[in-house]
Chain A
Amino acid sequence: MMVSKGNQQYPPLRALQASAVLRRASDEHKKEPLASSSQQHFDSPPAGHQPEQKPQGPHPSYTGQGGQESEDYESEEQLQHRILTAALEFVPEHGWTAEAIAEGAKTLGLSVAAAGMFRSDGSELILHFVSECNSKLSELLQKEQKLVQLGEAEKKPIDEFLRDAVEARLRMLIPYIEKWPQALSILLLPRNIPSSLNLLTSMIDDIWHYAGDQSTDFNWYTRRAVLTGIYNTTELVMMQDSSPGFEDTWRFLGNRVADAMAMSSTASQVQSTGEAVVQGLMGAAVTIKNLAGLNQRR
């Protein structure tokens, strides 16, 4: 496929070099209004003279001698980040696809071939979106915690905290709700499961951390498992919710959180009853030992 930028023709490049080309192209885009004379430079040589088409002057040089980067050199990761962020705007229209990524690249002044940097099923776009939502949630929770620490806000009871955190996180899906079922199915592809699971578990861990969970025993796992269940089921309910303002979903969420609280209090009741029973049995055993004269000092 040919990437053409204005009057220049570039030969087909592999994806690894594509970003370098795109950066070059975007830099030239920036330079165009200023350096029309250098533009002429590139016009005259015929298409066969590739080496002469390399940008000269103050362009960042990445001609393979690793480490020769100027200050405004953007890493590939940062570039991808920018493209994906820009692409999110086009998701409601195009879905989680390469088209959305291509549109996003266009708004940044890059060629539509930028979408070639990513996989065609849109996985990276979805993972990027999930990761961004998680970061936003983290910031939100951190801000709230600071307010509580400063005494400017009341510390919420756990069930309210969990409910609000999950609701805040799910509300971030609302602009993309039409296409979200598609995203969920892509996240369940075997290839994406490690990353999506990782993102899910770190988000749940974050919520519990800010909720003030300090468990260091098996409770650590039960709490996270329960919250993951609540989050996933609520997300699925949200997909099929057509009530105004998703009020059905929030009501469902409230009920699930209440269930979880009830379950945990039942569990602790069972445990204390069990302990009382054991104490009773031990007492009986000691009494019998005493009566039988077995309780001697060694």
Chain B
Amino acid sequence: MAAAAGPAVRCSLWQRRSLRCGPGPRPVPGGGAPLRLCSTQAVPQAGINKPVIDRIIRVDHAGEFGANRIYAGQMAVLGRSSVGPVIQQMWNQEKDHLKKFNELMVAYRVRPTVLLPFWNVAGFVLGAGSALLGKKGAMACTVAVEESISEHYNNQIRTLIEEDPEKYKELLQVIKQFRDEEQEHHDIGLEHDAEATPAYSVLKTAIQLGCKAAIFLSERI
């Protein structure tokens, strides 16, 4: 049984109690077996709604990747200003998110979106561009993006709950936690006078439109 894989196995997040036949490797209970970290163990593919889960993980991975690049862009411009530490802290959390989704992507054998190189550049440009508008501009960008992402995560949570809250318990846990952290970033942005940016509503609408397009494309391509 998967749960008996030995003391070195960490994070019960990935232990599966029932062995299923599927293309993923089965965790083998064995004293002499070289233990793999459970973060890289594959999730049995049978029984999950592959198309839905694929999309969810692909778009979330793309989103966290993009968010990383946005903060990188902002740091490049505002790194040595007074909001530098704030942005750095938010960036660190996004790095953790991305790491988690990288693990999920391998575990569920999901393909990444083809547009990753594009999001790489676009994210950095958005971050740097908004930061060039000043500290408030960067915060406004943060508010806009984090609001989009929170709404998007909420939609996914709803979808997963409709599907089967028990089967996707771990995934739901992860997404809920990330949604809460993105909401925190959103609030931090507001605290730092995001709304005082000149042309705030225009900027916010434009960025959110871009986010919606990015989400739409990353789910499919």
Contacts and interface: CB of A to CB of B under 8 A. Distances in A.
Contact of B40 (A214, A220, A297): A214
Given A149-B34, A151-B34, A220 B23 contact: no
Contact of B28 (A150, A218, A220): A150
Contacts of B32: 150-151
B176 interface: no
B218 interface: no
Interface stretch (A16-24, A61-69, A138-146, A263-271): A138-146
Interface in A128-174: 138, 142, 145-146, 149-151
Interface size class of A (residues with CB under 8 A): 10 to 19
Contact of A298 (B36, B80, B116, B117): B80
By DSSP majority rule, is chain A's interface helix, strand, loop, or mixed?
A: helix
Interface in A210-226: 210, 214, 216-218, 220-221
Contacts of B102: 216
Contacts of B97: none
B61 A298 contact: no
A220 B34 contact: no
Contacts of B105: 216
A145 B40 CA distance: 14
B82 interface: yes
B61 A216 contact: yes
B25 A218 contact: no
Interface string B92-115: 000000000110011001011010
Given A150-B32, A214-B40, A220-B111, A138 B25 contact: no
B30 interface: yes
B33 interface: yes
B16 interface: no
Contacts of A138: 23
B81 interface: yes
Given A151-B34, A216-B112, A146 B25 contact: yes
A223 to B, nearest CB: 11
Contacts of A142: 23, 25-26
A298 B32 CA distance: 59
A146 B26 contact: yes
Contacts of B82: 298
A206 interface: yes
Contacts of A31: none
B106 A216 contact: yes
A168 to B, nearest CB: 16
Contacts of B30: 149-151
**Which 3 residue pairs are nearest across A and B when measured between Cβ atoms?**
A298-B81, A216-B102, A214-B106
25 contacts: A138-B23, A142-B23, A145-B25, A146-B25, A146-B26, A146-B28, A149-B25, A149-B34, A150-B28, A150-B30, A151-B32, A151-B33, A151-B34, A205-B109, A205-B111, A206-B23, A209-B23, A209-B42, A209-B109, A216-B61, A216-B106, A218-B114, A218-B116, A220-B111, A221-B111
Given A149-B30, A218-B116, 8 more contacts: A142-B25, A149-B25, A150-B28, A205-B111, A214-B40, A216-B105, A218-B117, A298-B80
